[in-house]
Every structure is written in C-alpha cells, then in structure tokens.
Structure 1
Amino acid sequence: MNATPDPALYNEDLAPVPPEKRDWTWLNMATIWMGMVHNVVVYEAAAGLMALGFSAAECMEVVAVAYFVLFVTMWFNARAGTRYGVPFCVLIRSAFGPFGAQVPVVLRGFCAIFWFSVQAYAATQAVDAIVGTVWPGWNTASGLFIGMPLHRWGAMALVWFLHAWVMNHGVERIGNFELIAGPLVIVIGAMATGWALTVGHGLGPLFSVPSRLHGWKFIAAFAGGVTGMIGMWSTFAVNIPDLSRFVRSERDQVVGQAIGLPVTALVFTPMAIITTSATVILFGHAIWNPVDLLLALHHPVITVLGGAVIVLATLSVNVVANIMPACYDLINIAPRRLNFHRASFLVLGLGLLFAPWLWFSEAESIFHVLDLISGLLGPVTGIMLADFFILRRQYLSVPDLYKRDGIYGGRNGWRASALIAFVVGGAVASAGIAIPALAWINGVSWFVGLVVGAAVYLGCQHRRTVVKPQTGLT
C-alpha cells in the first residue's frame, strides 16, 4: 500500500496478501476442493437428478457440464485474487464502489451463513447418531426445546465447538487442515464404493434404470439440472478470490481447481450412485441420506466411523466455502471492530439464528431461498468478470480500492452502473418465479443473470475510457 487507506475500508485481514506470503500450491487448492465437493448436499444431489428422470450415465453428463462451467468461471474470477492478493469484498469495490459493494457482499454473506447453518446441522445429525450409538442413554434426553430434542442440542454444541476449534487456528492452518481432510474423505468414499460393489455384485440396479426423458423434455431437464448443480456453488463463484489470494501463481490455482473441482465431482457422483444402489438391494428402496444409511445398517463401528467421516467432510466444506467468505464479508462491513477471529465467532452465532432444524423438514423451502439468491448472484458474477477483464483489462489500482474518493469511488462511494446491472440482471433471472409464461428462465437463471448483468454493466460504461494500467481506470 503506497497510500493511506480509509480505516472504514481497511484492516489487516482485508489488506492485500504480499507475494512472499502467497504460499498455497496447486495441492492446497486441489485438496480444498476435494474436501468441499464431498459433502452431504452434493451427495444427495445425485438423487435429485435421478428423480428428474435421468439415467445414471445422464447424471454424469449433467455433472460434467455443470462443473466444467463452474471451473471456467472460477478460473477467470480467481485470477484477480491471485494477481493482487485481495479478497472478493475488496475486489468488488472496483465495480460497485466502496459502499455500493456492500449490497453484493451482504447478499453473499447471508447465503454463506445460511449454507453454514444447514451443513452444520447435517453434521449435527451425524454426531447425534454417533453418540447415541456409543451411549444409548444419550437418546433418553428427548425433551423438546425450540422444536429440537435436548440430545440433538448437545450434538449441535459439539459440532459448533469443532467449527470454532478449526477456525481458531487462522487462515494459514486451514490450508493444512484441508490437505488432510480432502484426501481422507476420498479414501473413505472409495472404501464405501468398494463395499457397495460387493453388495451389488457390480454397479447395482440404479445403473440399469433407463432414462425417462426424451426430446425437449430431456433438453429442458438437462438445462435445469446443470443450473441446479451450478446453483449449489454459485455463491462460491463470486468469492473464489478469498482463496486464490493465498495461491503463489496463476498456474497453481488453475491446476489445483481443475483437479479438485470437475475431476473430483466426476469421481464422487458415481460413488454416491453406486453406494445408494447397494441400499436398493439391502433395503428394497434407495437411501440417499448418508446418516439414514448408517443407522439402517445397525452396525455400531460403521455408524461411528461413517458418522466421523460425515462430520469431517462437513467441517471441510463449511470452513472454506461458508465461514471464511462470511468472515471477510462481515469484516468488510465493520473493519474497525472486526478481525478474522471475532468475525468467525460471529458467524457461528448468526448461524444458530437461522434455526436449521426447523428448515430441514422443508428441504424444498431451503432450495427455493437459495435458488433465488443464486439467481441474484449470477449478475454479480457477470459484473465482476466484465469489470476486470473487459473494462479494467486486468489492471487495478490497489490503493484506490481502499479509498472512498479514489478512482473507483463513483458518486459518494456508489457506482450506479453496477447497481443498475445488478437489479436488471436479478430481475430478468428471477422473472420466471413471478411470471408463469417465463418459467423456462428458471432452468437457466444463473446463465441469464450472468449475461444480462455483464451486458447492462458494459452498456452503462460506453463512455468510459481506459487510462494507464498503473493507475487503473476512470
């Protein structure tokens, strides 16, 4: 920093990571993604695709397209973080202005905390199953408190403590945690797949189920399936700089994400289908929830070990995909009062306020809320890409990102062009929810939001001119 930053926009956690401290390699990025892709929600997503009528092979095709699109998007959006070492909540200021940036930052933070809460509750169910298996008396504490049994509250306390313990070690140690967690989850998943292949004497009945979709129905369902898969990670598509700022080179972040994202997803999806296929043989119906499967097997050792893996997988995805981004978003709102340590505990507290145990019985409601937010984040992704690659030509004046009167300041800290693009893009992407005749947009809402947001943003910038790279743009 060669200029005095505004204290309302800067603290040590928001400051650029100096090149000498950007020491994450491709292996760090790959293992982080391995840990994130292996979680309960992604595991159950295969069930959602098969419920739409896809065959197992077609599920793989949907996953391949969705994760390839995600990889390309994150590859480009991560570049600014790697080049300048700043997080998403700071980078977005070049498009929205230092105060206008709070709009997408708060939206992203809300979604991150919500996802953390839901994922943590999935781990809570696993811990509850583990303790109840080891200590049967645990389940006798069945009195209800705010709609949840007391023994489940005890399990939730343990899960929240584990998250706090991991976060208390700071960003540097989180990378080391993922080096162990990501590959370990893959090894356990491979063991479960081996068991399923033995039980099913092959790939199992789910792989013999033919597709029920043909013609235009297949095309519409395919587009919806791809958008749904992208929707699960659309929040992370905007804040990937929060991770890439610690990576030592562009090559490392590209190679790491290529191995950790599409490749891992294509390995994990058939694992989920094969394992579930074995449950059809054993129980006569498919069991897609891993915790329900562990309890159905009635084997204490398997329940304990399997539950521990679910908890590890949840910690792995929650720490880097939800808590870390939410911390930066909260710090961006109040940099004078919050640092990474304080913000992480605030995220844990706010996560409880979402009362995930009340939402879990209404899974459709969860995804309706998250799909709406994902549709709004499509324009944010488009605006970020258009701003950095087309308008800024990949050059930013880092000191000006921390000043309210710098070249990105707009009018009193707000840049109308980005806000207009965000509103228009979000409205178009969400139009199918309010107007039945436009319901087809719901199947491609993320893509529509991205394209419209980028186009409107660039259209509002037609009078802007490029200035010298070292100073940024007007």
Structure 2
Amino acid sequence: MKKPRLRIKQSQSTFAEGNARWTNLDLDPVPLHKRKWGPLSFIAYWISDAFNAATWQFASSIIAVGLSWRESLGIVALSFFIISFVISANGAVGAIYHVPYIPIVSRVVLALFWFAIQNVNGANAVRAMVGAIWPGFLAMPNRIPEREGITSNGMVAYLIYWVVQFPFLCLRPDRLRWLFVVKSVVVPVAWIAILVWAFVAEGGGGMFEQRVTVHGAQYSWVFSASMNSVLGNYATLSVNQESDFSRYSRVSPKWQLLYIPTLPLIFTFISFIGISASSAGQSRYGAPIPWDPIAHLSNWSSRACRFFGALSFALASLGVNISANSISAANDLTALFPRYISLRRGQVLCGVISWCLVPWRILASADSFLNFMSAYAVFLGPMAAIMLWDFWVVKRRKYDTLALYQAQNPVYWYTWGVNWRAVVAFLVGVGPNLPGLVHSVNAGVRVGVGLHPYQFGWLLGFVGTSVVYVVLSGGGAVMAEEVYGEGSVKDGSGL
C-alpha cells in the first residue's frame, strides 16, 4: 500500500536553492502568470469584506454608549480613513515584490479563534434560513445541556455551515476572486433592500431623534474608546493585507491608494444601514433595539424575506471568514512549516481546528476571553507601524527579495536573527496599554487612570512605535548602511 505523501512539493526556484526548508511553491514570489488580481478584484474584495455583521453593528453599538447617530457615523468614517492609509501602505509591499510576510505565531492563534467564532455567526444565519423553510426546525427538542452554549438545531446549523464552507478552504487565494465578486453583488443588494424597508416602513425609526447623553471629559473618552474599537476590528487587515492578497496584484502598486477614499465610504454606508434597520425594528416591533441583525430579521412575518435576509448574512460571514481569517492562518502556518503545509492544507487545518476550539462555548461563557480577543489590537498597531516605516523610511522602499529567502543572510539577519530596534519599539508601543488590557479582561483589577491610554490604544501604540522605530533606525540611514553597505542602493524588486 502506497504511503500518503506528507511532505508537499518543494519549490525549484532560485529562492529555494540550498534553502528548501524555508520555502515552498506557495511562499515563493508570485510568478507573473499567477498575478490575476486587478482593480475590480480588489474593489470586490473590500466590498465583500466590509459587508459583514460586525460592520452592521459598528455605529449602532456606539449609539448604545451615549453618542448620537451623527457622532457614530463620524467615528466610523474617521477610523477607516486612518486605517486605510496603513492598509494601503503595507499592501503596496506585496503589490511591488509579490512576496508573503514573515510568520507571526500570534496572528495564527488570533485567526484560528476568530475563524471559529465567525463559524458560529454564520451558523446562526443558517439556522434562521432553515427555520424560514421549515418552521418546525426551530422547535426541535434540545438534547444538548444548556451550559454548552448551543442547542441541537444550532449544532445542526453549525454542521451545515461548516460543510458548505469547507470547499472554499481548498481554494488558493488567486482563485477566490469570483467568491468576492458574487458576495459584493448579492449582499449589498439585499442590505440596500433592508435600508429601503427601514425608511419606507418606519421612516427610519426614532433613533435619529436621539441626542448625546454623555458630556465633558466622559464624552472625549467615550469617543476615543469607540474609535479604538472600530480600528481594532480591522487592525488585523492592516497587517495581513500585504501577505495575503496584494501579492497577487497584476496592476501598479499605485492602485493601493484607491483604499483611502473608498474604505471610509463603504464602511460608513454599511454602518448607516445597521442604524436604520435597528431603529426601524425598534419602532415596528416595540422591543429593545436588536443590534444583532439575525435577531432583527427573525421578527419578519414573511418567511421568504427571512430566508433571503439570512442568506445574505450567511454569505457575508463566509466571505469575511475566508478573507480575514482562514487565509491569514494558512499563510503563517505555511511560513512556519513550509515542508508540510501549503496554503490549501493550512486552510483545511484551520477548518478542522475550529471544531476543537468549541467556539459556541467561548461565545456563551468566556466574556473575558472575548474581551482579550477584541483588545488584541493593542499588539497589532505596533506591528503595523514597524512594517510600514521599515519599508517606506528605513529601507527606503528597497528590499532584497532573494535575501528574504536565505537563512542567516547578513542583509536581514540583524543581531542573532533579532532586530532589537523593532523589539524595543514594539514594547514602547504596547507597554502603556497593558494596565487597561488587564482591566478589560478582569474588571476586578483596578488600574485607575491607567485605563485611559488603553481607550485609544491602537493609535497610541501605532504612533509610539513609529517614532521609536524610526529614531532608533536613524531615520533610515543606519539600517540602509547595515543592509546594503554605505552609499549603496539595492533594488530587489526585479523578479
């Protein structure tokens, strides 16, 4: 009997010569014939990524803490205007050199957990879909103990969602463009229909009449904390946009600038839909504002509307889970174990591990763990800052591509494999946020004014790390001499 092949096919390119243990076909720079992502592909990707339940709830949740709908939409727009610069700048590296980013073990863990949790969100949408077709499904007797955080019909819905999602985990990123295109058409149409209903049926509801209920210093801290929350939700993409998708670009890196005007517009518009639908739902059904869109549409009397509405959220969850979680985990697992893991195997492994993490129990009982997951942005802000300034200022937009694939190459080996400047800058960016992070995980720990830096932790970490890293690197002069030699300029972009 032939033994299964555990090792994957290794790269035969120049980048793997004498160094096969560090790369494979998925890690090599993307060859010209596989660079298929153009402007429309990236626009579809971002529309697809934006249309998900979290974006729907952004502004609505900000209103719940005391701000008005105007401030809420302003915070969303400002937050995405800021982070769009970071996404665009870091994405340009992949678009120029077509290489993946270095493995980040912490990002693997984060992506795995969020993938599992998003599976539950998708399963909730599937549960509503099946319930719309077969009402008896929602009345199915529950055989699972309440402490598990999931019902019998919820488990069936989770299995259905997981099985439907699995084939997409077997596709390489360059072959997922059509998924994002489909989602960028179907989901916006469905959600715009919900927006029209909100104004036709209830005139938008009463939420638009609400006023700000916090004032003075409290207003400032609530504003900062809300903006930090929005930034934190997409902090991951400010790091992984380079490695995951922009490397497949077939157009000029200047197209990355398209993100700066489009991301704020798209995300703010979706948040407006969420506000309108929640407000209209409160007026129509006389219940507390249903921030959860699935809870909102479950009140609809039309079974067809419930089905297609839930279908849009299931598709939204599927698209964002692939783009933001499974591919991120697969890229880093591939970089960590290139002999045994490819992008396909990495995504499949991500899907299998999602069962082991029992995410329904996490959502049901582990509030402190979810707070920590949301607070993870305080680490990603400094990471994004180091990536951005290392390329644009320190390395002066020049990377030696071949040296990136050679272990202990003096160009990027630094001091025993560690860039101490990056480590110091990272610690400076993260340090002030740690007291607030501890308090968010365990509210019983009193930190006093130490909570305030955490309330704008992403911005604080990003700015602090940026200044320290650039200063320690001598504004680029020190590192340029270490990497390329004094007075030399090396362009590694010629592939």
Q: Matches of 1:464 and 1:172 in 2, distance apart? A: 34
Aligned residue number for residue 361 of structure 1: 364
Instruction: Check whether the contact 2:58–2:76 (CA below 8 A) recurs between aligned residues.
Output: no
Q: Indicate how the Cα distance of structure 1 residues 251 and 182 shifts in structure 2: closer, same or farther if over 3 A, else same.
A: same
Q: Matches of 2:116 and 2:49 in 1, distance apart? A: 15
Q: Indicate how the Cα distance of structure 1 residues 305 and 366 shifts in structure 2: closer, same or farther if over 3 A, else same.
A: farther
Matches within 5 A, 1:278-289: 278-284=280-286, 285-289=288-292
Q: Matches of 1:135 and 1:113 in 2, distance apart? A: 32
1:437 aligns with 2:430: no
Give, as a single letter, the amino acid of the residue that structure 2 aligns with 1:326.
A
CA offset digits 1:203-226 (Å, max 9, x no partner): 321111111133332222211111
In structure 2, the gaps of 5 or more residues are: 1-12, 439-446
CA offset digits 1:353-409 (Å, max 9, x no partner): 332211223585354212332101111111111211111011000111111111112
Q: Matches of 2:358 and 2:434 in 1, distance apart? A: 26
Aligned residue number for residue 422 of structure 2: 418
- Using the size of structure 1 for normalisation, the TM-score is 0.91
Instruction: Check whether the contact 2:37–2:174 (CA below 8 A) recurs between aligned residues.
Output: no
Instruction: Check whether the contact 1:35–1:182 (CA below 8 A) recurs between aligned residues.
Output: yes
Aligned residue number for residue 255 of structure 2: 252
Give, as a single letter, the amino acid of the residue that structure 2 aligns with 1:144.
I
In structure 1, the gaps of 5 or more residues are: 90-101
Give, as a single letter, the amino acid of the residue that structure 1 aligns with 2:490.
Q
Instruction: Check whether the contact 2:80–2:231 (CA below 8 A) recurs between aligned residues.
Output: yes
Q: Indicate how the Cα distance of structure 1 residues 210 and 278 shifts in structure 2: closer, same or farther if over 3 A, else same.
A: same
Q: Matches of 1:208 and 1:147 in 2, distance apart? A: 37
1:192 aligns with 2:197: no
Higher mean C-alpha displacement, 362-371 vs 320-329: 362-371
Give, as a single letter, the amino acid of the residue that structure 1 aligns with 2:489.
P
Aligned residue number for residue 469 of structure 1: 489
TM-fit CA distance, 1:9: 2.0
Local SS of the residue matching 1:148: coil
Matches within 5 A, 1:291-440: 291-362=294-365, 364-365=367-368, 367-406=370-409, 407-434=411-438, 435-440=447-452
1:56 aligns with 2:57: no
Residue 41 (structure 2) aligned to one of 28, 35, 55: 28
CA offset digits 1:161-214 (Å, max 9, x no partner): 2221122232222111101111221111110011111111x2321111111133
Give, as a single letter, the amino acid of the residue that structure 2 aligns with 1:320.
S
Give, as a single letter, the amino acid of the residue that structure 2 aligns with 1:158.
I
Instruction: Check whether the contact 1:50–1:59 (CA below 8 A) recurs between aligned residues.
Output: yes
Local SS of the residue matching 1:338: coil
CA offset digits 1:124-162 (Å, max 9, x no partner): 011112223323443425211655323222211111122
Local SS of the residue matching 1:87: coil
Higher mean C-alpha displacement, 245-254 vs 223-232: 245-254
Aligned residue number for residue 234 of structure 2: 233
Q: Matches of 1:390 and 1:429 in 2, distance apart? A: 26
Local SS of the residue matching 1:297: coil
Higher mean C-alpha displacement, 450-459 vs 239-248: 450-459
RMSD between aligned residues: 2.0
Q: Matches of 2:136 and 2:193 in 1, distance apart? A: 31
Higher mean C-alpha displacement, 110-119 vs 55-64: 110-119
Q: Indicate how the Cα distance of structure 1 residues 258 and 425 shifts in structure 2: closer, same or farther if over 3 A, else same.
A: closer
Higher mean C-alpha displacement, 331-340 vs 39-48: 39-48
Instruction: Check whether the contact 1:46–1:272 (CA below 8 A) recurs between aligned residues.
Output: yes
Instruction: Check whether the contact 1:5–1:399 (CA below 8 A) recurs between aligned residues.
Output: no
Residue 157 (structure 1) aligned to one of 156, 159, 164: 159
Instruction: Check whether the contact 1:376–1:429 (CA below 8 A) recurs between aligned residues.
Output: no
Q: Indicate how the Cα distance of structure 1 residues 412 and 392 shifts in structure 2: closer, same or farther if over 3 A, else same.
A: same
TM-fit CA distance, 1:17: 1.2
TM-fit CA distance, 1:469: 3.0
TM-fit CA distance, 1:457: 2.7
Instruction: Check whether the contact 1:429–1:442 (CA below 8 A) recurs between aligned residues.
Output: yes
Higher mean C-alpha displacement, 138-147 vs 73-82: 138-147
Q: Matches of 1:432 and 1:36 in 2, distance apart? A: 29
Q: Matches of 1:28 and 1:387 in 2, distance apart? A: 28
Aligned residue number for residue 183 of structure 2: 181
Local SS of the residue matching 1:316: helix
Instruction: Check whether the contact 2:205–2:281 (CA below 8 A) recurs between aligned residues.
Output: no
Aligned residue number for residue 447 of structure 1: 459
Q: Matches of 2:53 and 2:131 in 1, distance apart? A: 20
Aligned residue number for residue 133 of structure 2: 134
CA offset digits 1:57-110 (Å, max 9, x no partner): 111110110010011111111111110001223xxxxxxxxxxxx4xx111121
Q: Matches of 1:234 and 1:363 in 2, distance apart? A: 22
TM-fit CA distance, 1:259: 5.9
TM-fit CA distance, 1:352: 2.2
Q: Indicate how the Cα distance of structure 1 residues 61 and 422 shifts in structure 2: closer, same or farther if over 3 A, else same.
A: same
Residue 269 (structure 1) aligned to one of 256, 268, 271: 271
TM-fit CA distance, 1:117: 1.5
Higher mean C-alpha displacement, 140-149 vs 120-129: 140-149
TM-fit CA distance, 1:56: 0.8
Give, as a single letter, the amino acid of the residue that structure 1 aligns with 2:119.
A
Q: Matches of 1:332 and 1:235 in 2, distance apart? A: 18
Instruction: Check whether the contact 2:425–2:466 (CA below 8 A) recurs between aligned residues.
Output: yes
Q: Matches of 1:287 and 1:210 in 2, distance apart? A: 19
Local SS of the residue matching 2:338: coil
Q: Matches of 2:31 and 2:433 in 1, distance apart? A: 38
Q: Indicate how the Cα distance of structure 1 residues 147 and 63 shifts in structure 2: closer, same or farther if over 3 A, else same.
A: closer
Instruction: Check whether the contact 1:111–1:235 (CA below 8 A) recurs between aligned residues.
Output: no
Give, as a single letter, the amino acid of the residue that structure 1 aligns with 2:189.
V
Q: Matches of 2:469 and 2:374 in 1, distance apart? A: 23
Give, as a single letter, the amino acid of the residue that structure 2 aligns with 1:216.
A
Give, as a single letter, the amino acid of the residue that structure 1 aligns with 2:217.
W
Aligned residue number for residue 109 of structure 1: 108
Aligned residue number for residue 88 of structure 1: 101
Give, as a single letter, the amino acid of the residue that structure 2 aligns with 1:417.
R
TM-fit CA distance, 1:279: 0.8
CA offset digits 1:317-340 (Å, max 9, x no partner): 111111111110111110100011
